[in-house]
Amino acid sequence: MKRAMTAVAAVCVLAVTAAGAAAQGTKYGEGVKLTSSTTVAAVTANPKAFLGKTIRVDGVVTAVCDMAGCWMELRDENADATTAKTLRMKVDDGVIVFPKDAVGKKASAEGVFEMVSAAAAAEHAEHAHADAKPAAKPAEHAHAEAAKPAAKPVEHAHAEAAKPSAQQAAALPKYQVKATGAVVY
């Protein structure tokens, strides 16, 4: 009887430990250190108030860079998925790689809120164009040469992209979080 009770207690401890580990999620980069978060709605409603500040944003992942996992976009968890505003979490290429299967999962990301440069906006347009294409071959990963077959696989080279049209420019992100870490749950 004593052995049975010990076995039941051990199973309960293992179950609680496993549940706690799942609740902690998978850490990318430095993870998140700030305890309070800012909503996507608050940031997008008054972006100038957050410029240059380190913020934490919690939400649902709506998109991840298909080419190199160098960014993910979050929307507020309770916002309408079809109309909600999103905020891009951009990381340095190769330093942090967000997994494509994070889409639809909850996440927290932290970093400095910044205005997007023209070059970064053009890169975003290139990503959007490439992500809209059917599955690309690894050699097509170079942004500037995506339409041309490459002789060998090319790294995530951010070459100058073509200037977007006025309509495309209006849809480009104006702000982003230069993320230093994230947790996907």
Residue 55: phi and psi, rounded to 5, are -130, 160
CATH code at position 64: 2.40.50.140
How many domains does one find in the chain? 1
Residue 178 included in any domain: yes
Using one digit for the tens of pLDDT, what is the confidence trace for 121-159?
A: 776 666 655 655 443 333 333 333 333 334 343 344 444
Q: What is the pTM of this model?
A: 0.67
> Helix (H, G, I), strand (E, B), or coil: what is residue 78?
coil
Residue 155 included in any domain: yes
Residue 105 included in any domain: yes
Can you tell me the distance from the alpha carbon of 50 to that of 38, in angstroms, rounded to the nearest whole number? 10
Using one digit for the tens of pLDDT, what is the confidence trace for 33-88?
A: 999 999 999 999 999 999 999 999 999 999 999 999 999 999 999 999 999 999 99
